[in-house]
Amino acid sequence: MVNKENVCRICANIKGSTRYVFKEKQFGTDEPFVYFECASCGCLQIAEIPEDMAHFYPTDYASHRLVPASKFSSFRRFFKMHFLNHAMGRFDLIGAMQGVLFTTPPVIKWLAGSNTGPDSSILDIGCGMGNLLAKLWQTGIRQLVGIDPFIPNDVDYTENLSIYRLPIEKWSGSYDLVISNHSFEHVPNPTIFMASMRDFLAPGGTLLIRIPLMGKYSWREFGENWAQLDAPRHLFLHTEKSMEYLADLAGMEIYKTIYDSQPRQIANSIKFQKGLNYEDSN
């Protein structure tokens, strides 16, 4: 008989998986959770998803904090709009000057790379209280919406930026750009979730997924103290191979992969090595 805990939920492989026990470290509860690494697609996944996942997203969870009003500055938006125009290859003197003086912000690179401009529509799934959407608003995007089942309440920041406390199953619409910004690793059924995101895409639309990748330096260096494990909230830690598998099942293809890890991942992993939790000082 095959142990159901060792059947990969991504590629259905049943052989050669490696079992681990990881502890909850972000809040320092040290509650243990069993994971296994698929020998075929490499995806690291929790063996049994807890029944009450909301329990692990307390009210002071980082993504539950309201975006400060300062993020919705018209002054800041004026310059970011010109920066985006320049990044998209349009003639824009103010944007060109910023391009010479400053490093292009990641969100502007994402928008330019997906040909997303001010008139495009964007859906952010698993958006928390909308920190990324606020950054997108600054670039001049006029149609922004987010959904997240774990936030405390709905939020209307501006007339063109609203966030709803809803699961993906209760949403509908068509968008030029659909984003899953460090939320895809939190979903219990990646295959269904990927297909749902595909269904939100307008013709010619783009899906942007940002996730921690399994098997890279930080995992090899820190193991059970790798900050991006985030047990049990991160249900799946994907590899390039497991993401390609999911994209193919959904009838899509991955056309670009960008590695953009930040130093904070290393800093937090070192903190965990020292027995400190996420909120403790660096």
pLDDT in tens, 41-100: 999 999 999 988 888 887 767 677 788 888 888 888 999 989 999 998 889 999 999 999
Q: Return the percentage of the chain with pLDDT > 90, whole number.
A: 73
| 37 pLDDT above the threshold of 70 | yes
Looking at residue 28, what DSSP letter applies?
S
Residue 244 and residue 43: Cα distance in Å, rounded?
A: 11
Name the pLDDT band for 1 (thresholds 50, 70, 90): very low
What stretch of H or E contains 207? strand 201-210
Which three-class secondary structure state does DSSP give residue 220? Answer: helix
> Could you tell me which of 175, 164, 172 has the C-alpha nearest to residue 141?
175
pLDDT in tens, 124-174: 999 999 999 999 999 999 999 999 988 889 999 998 899 999 999 999 999
pLDDT score recorded for residue 133: 95
What does the radius of gyration of the chain's CA atoms come to, in whole angstroms? 20
pLDDT in tens, 218-267: 999 999 999 999 999 999 999 999 999 999 999 999 999 999 888 889 99
Q: Contact 122/141 with Cβ under 8 angstroms?
A: yes
Q: Is the dihedral of CA 191, 39, 212, 165 positive or negative?
A: positive
Mean pLDDT confidence for 24-39: 93
Mean pLDDT confidence for 14-33: 93
AA letter at 75: F
Strand order in 155-158's β-sheet? 155-158, 161-164, 143-147, 121-125, 175-181, 201-210
pLDDT in tens, 106-115: 999 999 888 8
Residue 3 and residue 142: Cα distance in Å, rounded?
A: 50
Name the pLDDT band for 4 (thresholds 50, 70, 90): low
pLDDT score recorded for residue 140: 92
pLDDT score recorded for residue 194: 96
pLDDT score recorded for residue 2: 40
Name the pLDDT band for 282 (thresholds 50, 70, 90): low
pLDDT score recorded for residue 281: 62
> Could you tell me which of 5, 64, 9, 14 has the C-alpha nearest to residue 188?
9
> Could you tell me which of 149, 124, 128, 83 has the C-alpha nearest to residue 209?
124
